[in-house]
Structure 1
Amino acid sequence: MIKPTPNPPEENLETESTSPYESADSRKLHDAAERALDHYLCPPGNPGPKRKSGPMYAVAPDVDSEELLANASETLASAKHIAHDFANLLPAPHRTTLLGIAQLVMIGELAVNRALDNLEIEADKRL
């Protein structure tokens, strides 16, 4: 009987390499996969590399909390007014979306104002 395919060559299977890195590209892919897994599955105790803050838009470390909160409150109030004014120019579906965003900004503004009130109450108690 004649076989349609020849027998495979005799190789020593024990000495065959089992490395997944057959080429430099596969090594790069493996490293990229490891970085992605580390990014998404990094334990909470290990926050990963620290980000550097640039000098642009940096807040001076000696500014007190009350001043920061007052500035944040004014910024949120401005954003709320801009969103309301712009919402009047949009068609209905987009208007409701922008009004929802304005409401979220307003909630943030209320929280910041409450924090300001709390600081004022704490300051009064100390006196």
Structure 2
Amino acid sequence: MGLGLFRGINTIEEARDRVYTLVHKLKTSCLFLDCDIKSVKMHDVVLDVAISIASRDQNGFMVSYGVGLKEWPKDIQKKCTAISLPHSNIHELPQWLEYPELKFLFVHSNDPTLKIPDTFFQRDERT
């Protein structure tokens, strides 16, 4: 299901129940903080550790957070499977996505003039 995060889960309902269970465990372990009914927060230190673990080479994740990121990061590994760039100020995406293993992409730009090249989702024929 989805990105293959939960083995043996075949329905949305099963996935939702599993996520609720995990969130509850993380809250009771003080790794997630209550925010409101539909969201939780993570302490900055815990978030940094989680990003560090998820970004290790063998996992292939790239996460950058915080307002201020103004251009596409140059240090993303080519074997990356997931890229998350929330709350950025990126105003232009690269010509091509050069990540053949990419399964998940999240880009949220605060810049309303974000430019997405026509070739962004096409394979770069130069490689």
TM range (shorter): under 0.3
Q: TM-score, normalised to structure 2's length?
A: 0.23
Structure showing the higher helix proportion among its residues: 1
Structure showing the higher strand proportion among its residues: 2
From the CA coordinates, give the structure whose radius of gyration is larger: 1
Q: TM-score, normalised to structure 1's length?
A: 0.23
